[in-house]
A and B are shown apart, each in its own frame.
Chain A
Amino acid sequence: MSQSVETLRQEFRSASDAAKDSKDLEAIRIRFLGKKGAITALLKSLGELPPEERREAGARINTLKDELSQALDNEIAKRGATEQEQKLKVERPDVTLPGTLPLPGSIHPVTRVAQEIADIFLSMGFFLADGPEVEEEYYNFEALNVPAHHPARDMQDTFYLETGRVLRTQTSPVQIRTMEQMKPPLKMIALGKVYRRDSDITHSPMFHQMEGLVVGENVTMSDLKGTLVMFAETMFGKRPFRFRPSYFPFTEPSAEMDIQCIFCHGNGCKICKGTGWMEILGCGMVNPKVFEAVKYDTEKFTGFAFGMGIERQAMLRYGINDIRLLFGSDIRFLRQF
C-alpha cells in the first residue's frame, strides 16, 4: 500500500509538471482527485487490507489527498493568474484617442493678472474693498482733491451720465468710501473696472485698476517704498527699481515706480522705448486734504496709496498687442489662456 501511495505521488508530480494550462490541471484533478480518480480507487482498496493496517493506510491516503489537492490549488491559482493577465492584455487602448470630458475653459487674462496681484496684497494683510462704478463726482474728484476746472481733470477724460453722475475714472473713490466707514489702522485694496474716454490699441474706454491704501500712525514714504518693492519682487522677481516724483492730486509726495524692463533687462528695447525701465504703478503719501474730506486727524495719521492698471500688465505678460482683444470675446483668443 505504501508503495502505491508513493507511486501515486510520483505520478502526480510528473503529470503536474507536464501540465501546460489550467485545462490540463483540471484533467489531473479528475484523474487523481475526482470521484472516479486514483485516490478514490486507493481508498476503495482499503477493504482489501487487513483490519489492523487499514487505519494507518487510510491516514496516509488522506494525507496524500490533502497534499495533492493543496498542490493542485496552488498550481491552478498560479497558472490562472498568469492566464487571466494574458487574457486582459489582449485589449490595448489607443492612447491617442481624446479623453471625453470637456477640457477646462479659461480664466480671462485680465482676471488672472488681477487675482495674482490681489493675492500678493491679501497675503500682506490687505483686505479687498469695493465701491460703485457709477460714481458721484464728489467721490471721483472733489474728495480726492481734484476740484472742478482743475487742469488735473485733463489727466482723465471722463464719461458723464445724463443723471449727473460719472463712470469712475479710477478706483480711488473706493478709498474715500472705505475711509468714511472705517477708522485707521487700515490696509485695503480695491479692484475693478474704471472708465476713461480714450480708445486706441493701447487704451480702452473700459479697463481695470487695482488700488491700495494704508493708513495709520507713523506710516511713512519709506514704508510705501518697502511695501511696493516687496510687491514688485513677488510679482516680477528681484530686479532693480526706482521711484520717480510725479503728480496725483490725492497724494503728496507722489511717485511713479519703475522696474527694470523685464524684456531687455535694462539694455533698452522697443517695449521700454529704449529706457531700460518699465513703469508699473503710481503711488504717493495720502494728501492731507483727502484725510480732511473723510474727517481723519491729519496730524495723527499718515498713509500711502498706490494704483496700477491691470490690462497693461496682462498685455506685457501674454504678449497681447491690441487691448481691444481683451474685450472682444473671441474664442480663438480666449482659448489661448
Chain B
Amino acid sequence: MKILLSWLRDYLDIQMPPEKIAESLNMAGIEVEALHQLGKDIKGVVTGRILSREPHPNAEKLSLCLVDVGEPVSLSIVCGADNMKSGDIVPVAKIGASLPGGIEIRRAKIRGSESFGMMCSKRELGLSEDHSGLYILPADTPIGIDALKLLGLDDTVFDISITPNRGDALSHLGIARELSAIFNLPLHRKALDESHGDGEVSALTSVTMDAPQMCHRYGARIVEGVKIAPSPRWLCERLEKIGVRPINNVVDVTNYVMMDIGHPMHAFDLKKLDDGRIVVRMAKPGEKIKTLDGNQHGLESTMLVIADAKQPVAIAGVMGGENSEVDDSTTSVLLEAAWFDPVIVRKTAKTFGMMSESSYRFERGTNIDNVPIALNKAVSMILETAGGKAKAGMIDAYPVPHHVKKIVVRPRRVSQVLGVSFKPEQIETILNRLKFEVEREGETILVGIPPFRHDLEQEVDFIEEIARIYGYDNLPTTLPSIMAPPRKSSPITAIQNRLRDHLVSLGYHQLITYSFISGDIPVQMQEGLPLTLKNPISEEQGVLRTTLMWGMYDALRRNILADEYDLRFFEMGRVFQRNGENTVEPDRLSIGISGRANPRDWRRCNEAHDLYELKGLLEGIGRLNGHVLEFRNSSRDVFHPSRQMEVRVGGFLIGCLGQIHPRFLDNKKMPAHIYLAEIDLSGFAGLSSQTPRMKPISEFPAVQRDLALVLPIETVCEDVRQALVTEGGTLLESCALFDVYQGKGIDPGSRSLAFSLVFRAGERTLTEADVQPRIEAMTAVIEKKFHGKLRAG
C-alpha cells in the first residue's frame, strides 16, 4: 500500500523528515518497505507553452517544437510524443536539468536537428507509469515556473506492508492515526453531514436487508445531475502517486474515499437499477453476473450479492457488475457504503480468484461507524468534481447495531506479561493516544474496543498496544527465572547425530532431498500407495515419498550425468506411509554409492564398490547403535536379483541393500556398480540395545592357528564359522575369515575359506596339547557336516 506524506498532512501537522516517520512506523509495527521522495532527483524542470509544432525534416515519428519557457529566447526541442499541439502547456526539462533514474538533459542533435531540452511525460517525472504522451497541463498554468511544486513532486510516498491483523491501517487516516499515537500529535478530522440536499433520498430508492447477518449495515446516498468527466488534476495526481489509475470523477471519488479513510465504496448508475432500489441478499442458485473486469461468474447461494429488484448488480464487497456501471452517460449516482462480513467476502473473492482493494479491506474488517462518514465525504467530493445535486439524508439500513465491548486491563497483568511495571495513568495515557475510549477507576482500567480495531479482543491485545507505543526497545532484557527439568534427546535424534558424524568421517556427503516427488517414479522404489497432494506446485512434486530410494537414485543419476562418478551419499529423513486413516512417518537413512571404492588411494584406485563394502558399512552402523545386524537373501525388484540382502535386527526387518537393477541404468554414462541401502532408524530407536558388560582381559599369551578349508561352493561362510566356534570351545577367543579363494588348484564346485583362529585361556599359558584336539574336532565337523576338507599344503 502506498501512502502519500502530503495526504497524511490532511490529518496531522507532521513536519519531521520522512526517514524519521518511516523509522517510527517500523518500530511501531507498521512496516515501511520503501520510501520514495518524488522530486528528489528532479532539477531544472519548468512549465512551458508549445508555440509551434512542425514535423521533423528527417524523421517521421519526431516533431520539432518551439517552446516558450518564460525566457527571452524560446527553446527548439525535438520530441517523440504525439499528443501535443501548439498552445499546450507542458513540463520542460531544460539543458542541465536532471530527472529520476540519473537522466541529465544536455544539448543534443537528434537526426540532424538541435534540441535544447526535453518535454516530459508523467513517467519521466516519476509521477505515474503513464508514458502514453506528454503531460499536458491545464491551460491556465503560468509559464516558466518551477514544475516541482506545481506538480506536487515535493512529496514522499511510503510503501507500506500491513500485517493481516491491521485492517484499520489500510488508509491514510489509519496511518495518520498511528502517527498521532506515536508522536502524540492531534488528529484533525472534518465532520460532514447529510442534512443538506434537494428532496429526500427515500423518495427515490430503498434498501432491503435480506441477509442482515452477512451485512450489518448498508448506507446509500444519491446525487442527481452529475456530469461524468475526468477528475480534476489534484485528484488524479493524488491517486496516481499512490498507484491508482484515474477513471472518471465519480469512480475516482469512491477510490479516493477508500484510500483516504479505508472504507471501500461503490457507485451505481441509479437509472440502471431495476425499480431503482437495492436488495442485499444471498445469491440464488443459477444466477450469474458479469463483473467490471469483464468476467462472467456463476453465483452460489453461499455468496452475498447486491441486487436490484430483478438481478444481482454487484458481488458484495468484491466487485460491481457491468449492468449497473457508472459510464459517460450516467447522470444519477447511487453511492454505497456498507459493512460486510469478512469471512463471506474472503470466501467469495477466493472462489473467484478476485482479490480487489475492496475485498482486501472487507476481509480484514472495516469500521462500521465509517458508513455515513464515507458516504458524506464522497457526496461532498462528487458535488465538487462532477456537479449535480445531492438528495438530503441517507438510507442507513442498520439491522445489526454494533455494540462497543469493554475489556478490563489490569496494570498487574501488564507487568506480568511485559516484565516492567506501568502506573495506571501511564496506561491510560497510551490508550488515549491510540484514540481508545478509556475509563479508569483506581487500578482498574476499562477500554472500549474501538470499531476500527477488529484485532483487539482480549486484555493481552491491549497489552501489545501499550508495549508498541511504549516501545519494545524500552523493555529491559532479562532472563527467565524458571528452571525447566532436564531431558535427554529422543533416541532417534541421538542415533541421527551419531550416524551423521560417522558417515561424514567415512567420506559420505549428506543430502537433503524434497519430501514430495513425482507420482510417476518406478513402482520398485515405492512402498505402498503414496499420499497425494491436493494442490502440488507441479506433478513432479505431486506425492509424498514412501521411501528414500528415489531421491537417492535420482541424486546419483544426476551427478553421474554431470560427469561426477565417484559418489558417496547419505540422507536422513522421514518417509510418509498410510496406516489406515492415519499417516506414519518413519525416520530413515539411505545410502548411495557409485564409482570407485578408493578414488584417493593411488595404489588401488581402480577397485569398484561392492556389496560387501556396503554390508560392512551397515554392520558398523549397527555396532555404533549397540546392535548386531542380521543379513539375509532377499528378492526386491529394485536390486540386481543376485546382489542384494535384507537387514534385520533381532528378527525384525529394518532395511535392505543391494546393487541397483541394471534396468535402472538408463544412460550410457551410468556405471553398473551403483549400490543403495535404506535402513529404518525408527526400527533401531524402538529396540533396546545391549549394555556392554566388561570381561576380564587375559594376561597369558595366545596360540594362533590358520585353518584353510575347501568346501562345496554353496556352503555359506557363517554356518562354517559358527561350527568352528562351537568346536573351538571356551578356549577359542576369536575366529575370523581372512581369505576366500576360488580357481586354480581348487575343484570348480568348491571354494576355499580360510580362518584365523586365536586360542587363549584366562588363567594359564596354553600348550599344543590344549589346541590340537580342538583343531581335530573342527576338521572332523567340516568333513562330516559340510563335506569339506583341509586345504592341502
Of all chain B residues, which has the CB nearest A287?
Answer: B460
Given contacts A102-B506, A133-B585, A222-B420, 5 further A-B contacts (CB under 8 A): A108-B510, A149-B343, A220-B420, A221-B417, A223-B478
How far apart are the CA atoms of A330 and B570 in the complex, in Å?
A: 13
Let me know if B602 and A98 touch, CB within 8 A.
Answer: yes
Q: Is B447 an interface residue (CB 8 A)?
A: no
How far apart are the CA atoms of A289 and B455 in the complex, in Å?
A: 13
Let me know if B460 and A149 touch, CB within 8 A.
Answer: no
How far apart are the CA atoms of A193 and B418 in the complex, in Å?
A: 32
Q: Is B558 an interface residue (CB 8 A)?
A: yes
Which residues of chain A come closer than 8 Å to B512, judged between CB atoms? Answer: 108, 110-111, 326-327
Q: Mark A133-160, 1 if CB is under 8 A from B, else 0.
A: 1100000000000000111101100011
How far apart are the CA atoms of A232 and B782 in the complex, in Å?
A: 68
Contact among B29, B507, B514 for A246, CB-based, below 8 A: B29
Tell me the smallest distance from the CB of A258 to a CB of chain B, in Å: 9
Of all chain A residues, which has the CB nearest B493?
Answer: A128
Q: Is A171 an interface residue (CB 8 A)?
A: no
Q: Is A19 an interface residue (CB 8 A)?
A: no
How far apart are the CA atoms of A167 and B574 in the complex, in Å?
A: 13
Which residues of chain B come closer than 8 Å to A125, judged between CB atoms? Answer: 483-484, 486
Let me know if A221 and B346 touch, CB within 8 A.
Answer: no
Let me know if B29 and A247 touch, CB within 8 A.
Answer: yes
Interface residues of B in 618-670 (CB under 8 A from A): none
Q: Mark A120-134, 1 if CB is under 8 A from B, else 0.
A: 000001111010111
How far apart are the CA atoms of A161 and B29 in the complex, in Å?
A: 35
Binds A, one of B4-12, B309-317, B467-475: B467-475
Which residues of chain A come closer than 8 Å to B164, judged between CB atoms? Answer: 150-152, 154-155, 247
Tell me the smallest distance from the CB of B656 to a CB of chain A, in Å: 21
Let me know if B490 and A130 touch, CB within 8 A.
Answer: yes
Tell me the smallest distance from the CB of A271 to a CB of chain B, in Å: 16
Let me know if B419 and A221 touch, CB within 8 A.
Answer: yes
Which residues of chain A come closer than 8 Å to B460, judged between CB atoms? Answer: 252-253, 285, 287-288
Which residues of chain B come closer than 8 Å to A328, judged between CB atoms? Answer: 558
Tell me the smallest distance from the CB of A32 to a CB of chain B, in Å: 42
Q: Is B479 an interface residue (CB 8 A)?
A: yes
Interface residues of B in 726-778 (CB under 8 A from A): none
Contact among B343, B419, B510, B515 for A195, CB-based, below 8 A: B515
Q: Is B564 an interface residue (CB 8 A)?
A: yes
Contact among B468, B486, B489 for A253, CB-based, below 8 A: B468
Let me know if B562 and A98 touch, CB within 8 A.
Answer: no
Let me know if B165 and A302 touch, CB within 8 A.
Answer: no
Of all chain B residues, which has the CB nearest A112?
Answer: B510
Let me know if A302 and B416 touch, CB within 8 A.
Answer: yes
Interface residues of B (CB under 8 A from A): 26-29, 31, 163-166, 342-343, 346-347, 363-364, 415-420, 458, 460-461, 463-464, 467-468, 472-473, 475-490, 492-493, 500, 503-516, 531-537, 541, 544, 551, 554-555, 558-559, 562, 564, 567-570, 573-574, 576, 581, 583, 585, 598-603
Q: Is A84 an interface residue (CB 8 A)?
A: no
Q: Mark A45-76, 1 if CB is under 8 A from B, else 0.
A: 00000000000000000000000000000000
Binds B, one of A34-42, A210-218, A261-269: A210-218
The 3 lowest CB-CB distance pairs between A and B, nearest first, are A220-B419, A245-B29, A222-B419
**With A99-B600, A106-B504 as contacts: A186 and B558 at CB distance below 8 Å:** no
Let me know if B534 and A330 touch, CB within 8 A.
Answer: no
Let me know if A105 and B531 touch, CB within 8 A.
Answer: no
How far apart are the CA atoms of A335 and B570 in the complex, in Å?
A: 13
Which residues of chain A come closer than 8 Å to B415, judged between CB atoms? Answer: 220
Which residues of chain A come closer than 8 Å to B461, judged between CB atoms? Answer: 252
**With A97-B602, A161-B532 as contacts: A134 and B472 at CB distance below 8 Å:** no
Q: Is A255 an interface residue (CB 8 A)?
A: yes
Contact among B342, B343, B416, B514 for A220, CB-based, below 8 A: B416
Which residues of chain A come closer than 8 Å to B510, judged between CB atoms? Answer: 105-108, 111, 334
Which residues of chain B come closer than 8 Å to A150, judged between CB atoms? Answer: 164
Let me know if B468 and A245 touch, CB within 8 A.
Answer: yes
How far apart are the CA atoms of A331 and B565 in the complex, in Å?
A: 10
Sample (25) of A-B pairs whose CB atoms are under 8 Å apart? A102-B598, A105-B507, A105-B508, A107-B510, A110-B512, A127-B488, A134-B585, A151-B342, A159-B516, A159-B534, A160-B534, A193-B515, A199-B537, A221-B417, A221-B419, A222-B419, A242-B27, A244-B26, A244-B472, A245-B29, A249-B165, A252-B458, A253-B467, A285-B417, A331-B564
Contact among A100, A154, A255, A285 for B600, CB-based, below 8 A: A100
How far apart are the CA atoms of A217 and B416 in the complex, in Å?
A: 9
Let me know if B576 and A133 touch, CB within 8 A.
Answer: yes
Tell me the smallest distance from the CB of A177 to a CB of chain B, in Å: 13
Let me know if A105 and B516 touch, CB within 8 A.
Answer: no
Of all chain A residues, which has the CB nearest B510?
Answer: A108
Let me know if B564 and A332 touch, CB within 8 A.
Answer: yes
Which residues of chain A come closer than 8 Å to B489, judged between CB atoms? Answer: 127-128
How far apart are the CA atoms of A106 and B507 in the complex, in Å?
A: 8
Q: Is A93 an interface residue (CB 8 A)?
A: no
Which residues of chain B come closer than 8 Å to A82, judged between CB atoms? Answer: none
**With A223-B480, A253-B467 as contacts: A103 and B511 at CB distance below 8 Å:** no
How far apart are the CA atoms of A134 and B583 in the complex, in Å?
A: 7
Q: Is A202 an interface residue (CB 8 A)?
A: no
Let me know if A302 and B500 touch, CB within 8 A.
Answer: no
Which residues of chain A come closer than 8 Å to B559, judged between CB atoms? Answer: 329-331
How far apart are the CA atoms of A102 and B502 in the complex, in Å?
A: 13
